Structure 1
């Protein structure tokens, strides 16, 4: 007969301690049955399981004995729910209190989170743990604190995740040490209930982004791209930064655009396509497929006119004329009574005409600068409006004309709403004055330059200059609906030279100095830690295998060009292993319809601590 002894178990739901008589030969199922029988409260215990805090181990095998787990009389177990709440920060910086399993592999827990958040392809995402707290946490873990409360820590000016300020490459390398391990559970990694974690796109290899079914996924991907640009996780030129800022502005403004008008425009395009198909199918005479170049609508108003010249140094001199806008032509007369006769001047705004806004609500400045390109020169003039409404109408007409469209265009109302929304941002506050430039915190209405560009751009250019550049660039994208603007932002982000590089500080075998290792979706890069110069690149397509010596924490990669070894100084080598294996797995995906091969993902990313057998790449890679 097996020797019996007292096993102490803490029931977390009831906050009570129980001692039950067990033997080493008892299986876990019997232990739980004995424990539940001793509890007076009646409740559903089906989600509860035994957790060994000292060993950070779940005892989930119902038919496995206590001896097999190594549980003896000095063990202190917890009987606790497997599904608990996490305080999850999404890429858009919002917090969600989400319930997920703490006992399954983190890969499955992330998939469960993504399903609740309606985000497809969870294999592209993972969780980042917060930095260790320097101050003792006063929040009770037995209650239900505010999801964001646990993420506040005055000891970290850049936030507990270290991502609210611009970071050096070394800082970004240190951040990669806090990715969770996908091959073990959250509880085994020290994550507790209500702990703050970040849900982020870990792998920059996105499968089939479809705006019809991926709205939430696109929203979060756009947010992560935006913050990576603003905090300089990727290098941008000045022109690229302004282009991103303009798209960000359009995303903000497009929310206020009338959706009905945009849908009407898409419906009109659909009808046009159907008529074209009918014409082709029945061999009807060719139809005029272009947008109408004549319009029954027109604009007319008394505006001020200025043509830039060499005397502008003395100040701009505007002269009043009666202006008429129709059929993409701008005509002006000395007075309203002259309309219908010979105009003083007439200009056609062809497709590609440069239309630039100059607006300052405080100073009642509503100017439209128009530059029409000709074969050997350009014709530049400015129109000055009296108020916001007049400016919005004329600006919309000019922008449509620059795209080859007339006032009858079905997208006119959406364009007008976009311009009015932009003007509305300025109402009551006006533009940045020179007096505010030195302070670096001036606002142009709600258009705060620091919300749209990085600190590097803010130090290089004055806020008013930044705002003017954003306005000019915005005029080129102001017709984009919200989702299209976000998709363009994502595509432009993916096109950046340093896009998607995850950094690690390593030491290569045979070298004494530290270097940077960059891991991307298709290659590994060896870089100088000071200059970031690329020394060597190894593509996954030419990799044969890799293996890790877990005892000395060294990875060896066999490549067609050469074989090399390195140790990681900034993170556990398991993180590097998971990155490389994850990217190789993602490159093997072929279709959304294919079932995700979880076993292969875990094989390529999990690692084997018991041996140094090499991981041989599947032939598909």
Structure 2
């Protein structure tokens, strides 16, 4: 009783953003955060799911997430106005390919974690390579001040949003007002509700195949600032990875950009990284078109030819109704195969204790010397290397077969014309003469199943052998290649080159339109055999080989220099370079492998890096010191990755990029 009498009770005002009301509750300084939220919910008496809500302190820009910490420990007093608000809010995300999506993002976690959740939903591996950027504001400074805290007006947006008990980070709502000119591919990520889409089951076509040209509004904003100094200043828009979105004045409904931040791309896999490859390709493509990347005329033509080749494949595949990626064709066919084989009375029956069986209606013809070719439809069954023919499916139960043959040692020959839809199998049995039997299949999938069964039988193997499924995959892959090779490209389409879609403005001024079109078509001939994914990967490899393409530049002032002197410093994936402010040529290079210690003085916002033979001390003149500090630490973190699947080490990333102390020193071995 004596201890409780010493507790100071006071009325704490909490604004509930979901209801747009203020609520005063009587609490004590020894109350922990969890007890305060529980007391608030009990006094509200409104039966709804509050599990996604947390306390936010606007004046301190701080989340109160440690539920066992007391109010006294958090320095919360009677005049501390807190918000009780959902942690997951809707944020408009512009992807690297310039498409916009409304996503549900956790505003209470660090930007590093938020990006990890987003990339997981979007199917992008290695999320540590990406981060979020602010969109350059075109509104008045009053609007900027208004965004400094979550005002009641801004928070009232939450009124229409019901809390979701799952921690999904994407809503899948696509804003049509900001949509691109080609939005048909975005339907997979479009939903009329904010809390129903599960991105893990969404087909990735909208993210793996982007439209050629976005809307004019996006293009105007994209080409607005193209000078070198503007590009350097743009680096200040990167969000701090060690802080949450709310702590950086990002409120619900704001627009941010998801971009590849670190140009140290790791383990690109054409089978696993179709979305990742496309998004990186699109980011580089727009960087070349906006002249953010300096390249020669020859390199520009290579980029343009690859872009045009990718555009042609996409247009031809869309016209023919076929997908451009061979692996996707195989995966889709195998998926259909699994469904068909699980159906009753058709396909393989591989239940435990039964012999695998393949059965379906086929068109059959027995070659005879003086007979006309006339195919008859019959029900065919292959089981334990025995081929049987029945008039009807119902005859199988009674054993009323027209004929039965042993497939051991048979010879099988394909007779396929993909462009004409002809899928025929010539089967010569040991007991036959050279005439043999002809089986006509209706679809590629049906042909692959039966052809695989006959090939295994020719090697005295049944369909129970483990090589049966790989054999089907091999046949489908071959058919897919034949289809792509035999798909004609319209001559008119080949010459329909719009150079302004594939080269930058400087290149357009150097040459005439017909000259550029001729150069693009001529260069494309060397890439004609590449698939869409391989062409994008080739595009990325050419970009990686460009000198200085992976350099992120900052304006800095070195210690003991004149105040007006501004130097240009660049950070690459393995070094820090000093550059000429006018010609942008490299003057000095310091490699990370020679770094001995790294000291960051957050009070004067200065970095001091000690190398084997020199010491570098500088402060940023435009960007925040934290931005360049995070780039250096991020590249060092990425250099520590090893081959194989490896989860991101969040603790190590924050140690290298967060700067937990005012004078934090890291040691690295060469």
- The CA deviation string for residues 365-403 of structure 1, in whole angstroms up to 9 with x for no partner, is xxxxxxxxxxxxxxxxxxxxxxxxxxxxxxxxxxxxxxx
Contact kept, 8 Å, 2:313 with 2:324, in 1: the verdict is: no
C-alpha spacing 1:164/1:146, structure 2 compared with 1 (3 Å): farther
- The CA deviation string for residues 238-296 of structure 1, in whole angstroms up to 9 with x for no partner, is 111011000001111112247589859x99xxxxxxxxxxxxxxxxxxxxxxxxxxxxx
C-alpha spacing 1:150/1:545, structure 2 compared with 1 (3 Å): farther
Residue number among 83, 86, 90 corresponding to 1:85 in the alignment: 90
Is 1:457 equivalent to 2:507 in the alignment? yes
Aligned counterpart, 1:442: none
Residue 526 of structure 1 and its aligned partner are, at CA, apart by 0.5
Contact kept, 8 Å, 1:166 with 1:233, in 2: the verdict is: no
Residue number among 160, 165, 168 corresponding to 2:227 in the alignment: 168
Aligned counterpart, 1:313: none
Residue number among 115, 129, 148 corresponding to 1:110 in the alignment: 115
Q: If the length of structure 2 is used for normalisation, what is the TM-score? A: 0.64
C-alpha spacing 1:160/1:183, structure 2 compared with 1 (3 Å): farther
Contact kept, 8 Å, 1:261 with 1:411, in 2: the verdict is: no
Partner SS for 1:604: helix
Quote the Cα distance in structure 1 between the aligned partners of 2:84 and 2:324.
58
Aligned counterpart, 1:423: 492
Q: How is 1:375-414 mapped onto 2 (pairs within 5 angstroms)?
A: 414=484
Aligned counterpart, 1:368: none
Contact kept, 8 Å, 1:169 with 1:503, in 2: the verdict is: no
C-alpha spacing 1:418/1:21, structure 2 compared with 1 (3 Å): farther
Aligned counterpart, 1:552: 604
Contact kept, 8 Å, 2:324 with 2:532, in 1: the verdict is: no
Partner SS for 1:67: coil
Residue 185 of structure 1 and its aligned partner are, at CA, apart by 0.9
Partner SS for 1:72: coil
- The CA deviation string for residues 533-563 of structure 1, in whole angstroms up to 9 with x for no partner, is 2110111111111111111111001011200
Is 1:97 equivalent to 2:93 in the alignment? no
- Structure 1: 5+ residue runs without aligned partners? 268-296, 298-408, 427-444
Quote the Cα distance in structure 1 between the aligned partners of 2:297 and 2:57.
54
Quote the Cα distance in structure 2 between the aligned partners of 1:244 and 1:412.
27
Residue 412 of structure 1 and its aligned partner are, at CA, apart by 7.0
Contact kept, 8 Å, 1:150 with 1:194, in 2: the verdict is: no
Residue number among 640, 645, 649 corresponding to 1:588 in the alignment: 640
Quote the Cα distance in structure 1 between the aligned partners of 2:111 and 2:123.
18
Quote the Cα distance in structure 2 between the aligned partners of 1:577 and 1:160.
32
Aligned counterpart, 1:271: none
Residue 187 of structure 1 and its aligned partner are, at CA, apart by 1.0
Partner SS for 1:55: coil
Q: How is 1:452-531 mapped onto 2 (pairs within 5 angstroms)?
A: 452-512=502-562, 513-531=565-583
Partner SS for 2:543: helix
- The CA deviation string for residues 5-47 of structure 1, in whole angstroms up to 9 with x for no partner, is 2111111111111111112221111110111011132111111
C-alpha spacing 1:149/1:410, structure 2 compared with 1 (3 Å): closer
C-alpha spacing 1:177/1:523, structure 2 compared with 1 (3 Å): same
- The CA deviation string for residues 134-180 of structure 1, in whole angstroms up to 9 with x for no partner, is 1577998456896475899xxxx996996434622211111111111
Quote the Cα distance in structure 2 between the aligned partners of 1:48 and 1:467.
57
C-alpha spacing 1:147/1:51, structure 2 compared with 1 (3 Å): farther
C-alpha spacing 1:260/1:181, structure 2 compared with 1 (3 Å): closer
- Alpha carbon RMSD of aligned pairs, Å? 2.9
C-alpha spacing 1:42/1:98, structure 2 compared with 1 (3 Å): same
Residue 417 of structure 1 and its aligned partner are, at CA, apart by 3.5
- The CA deviation string for residues 64-83 of structure 1, in whole angstroms up to 9 with x for no partner, is 11111111111111100111
Aligned counterpart, 1:249: 308
Aligned counterpart, 2:585: 533
Is 1:199 equivalent to 2:258 in the alignment? yes
Question: Which stretch shifts more, 41-50 or 161-170?
Answer: 161-170
Question: Which stretch shifts more, 482-491 or 136-145?
Answer: 136-145
Partner SS for 2:109: coil
Quote the Cα distance in structure 2 between the aligned partners of 1:477 and 1:150.
34
Contact kept, 8 Å, 2:100 with 2:179, in 1: the verdict is: no
Contact kept, 8 Å, 2:324 with 2:531, in 1: the verdict is: no
Quote the Cα distance in structure 2 between the aligned partners of 1:169 and 1:30.
54
Aligned counterpart, 1:66: 71
Q: Which has the higher helix share?
A: 2
Contact kept, 8 Å, 1:162 with 1:175, in 2: the verdict is: no
- Structure 2: 5+ residue runs without aligned partners? 144-152, 162-172, 181-215, 331-416, 418-478
Number of corresponding residues: 454
Structure 1 stretches of 4+ with a deviation exceeding 3 A read: 135-152, 157-166, 257-264, 409-418
Partner SS for 2:113: helix
- The CA deviation string for residues 310-349 of structure 1, in whole angstroms up to 9 with x for no partner, is xxxxxxxxxxxxxxxxxxxxxxxxxxxxxxxxxxxxxxxx
Contact kept, 8 Å, 1:130 with 1:161, in 2: the verdict is: no
C-alpha spacing 1:419/1:214, structure 2 compared with 1 (3 Å): same
Residue number among 271, 289, 303 corresponding to 1:230 in the alignment: 289
Quote the Cα distance in structure 2 between the aligned partners of 1:501 and 1:28.
45
Aligned counterpart, 1:4: 9
Quote the Cα distance in structure 2 between the aligned partners of 1:77 and 1:204.
40
Residue 105 of structure 1 and its aligned partner are, at CA, apart by 1.4
